[in-house]
Amino acid sequence: MTYGVINDWDGLVDSFDSYEEAEAAYEKEKQGRVCEGVEVEQSFVSLVELDEELEEIRTIKKVVAVEDVQLSKEIGSPKDNGYDWVGWAKWLDVTNNVKIRSGRKQHE
């Protein structure tokens, strides 16, 4: 079985023979993407299982960037803290909202 990490910028970031390696890469990719900047409700990171024979991708885990309103209430906006960006972001797990359509996984 082959596992992979997919994001909205690069598509397939990397693939692995080991689930554990893929999961570690998924967590690292989530951290890296949120630090590089994300688009709310557009940016995502997925951990997937790749079936090359059937040309199918099965999503195991998927997160989408959302605005972190709670953090803004607690510490103020990024601009209040000396940063140039508009708002704080966090990952929302949307794994349960992923369905198979035409042999490919898509987020609803």
Please, which pLDDT band fits residue 55 given cuts at 50, 70 and 90?
confident
Please say if the pLDDT value at position 49 is more than 60: yes
- What is the separation of C-alpha 93 from the centre of its chain, rounded to a whole number of angstroms? 9
Please say if the pLDDT value at position 104 is more than 50: no
Domain residues for the domain of 6 are: 2-107
Task: Domain count for the chain, please give it.
Answer: 1
Q: Which one, of 90, 86, 2, 80, lies nearest residue 45 by Cα?
A: 90
State how far the Cα of 10 lies from the Cα of 107, in Å rounded to an integer: 17
pTM for this entry: 0.80
DSSP 37: -
Residue 26 falls in which region: left (phi positive, over 0), alpha (psi -120 to 50) or beta? alpha
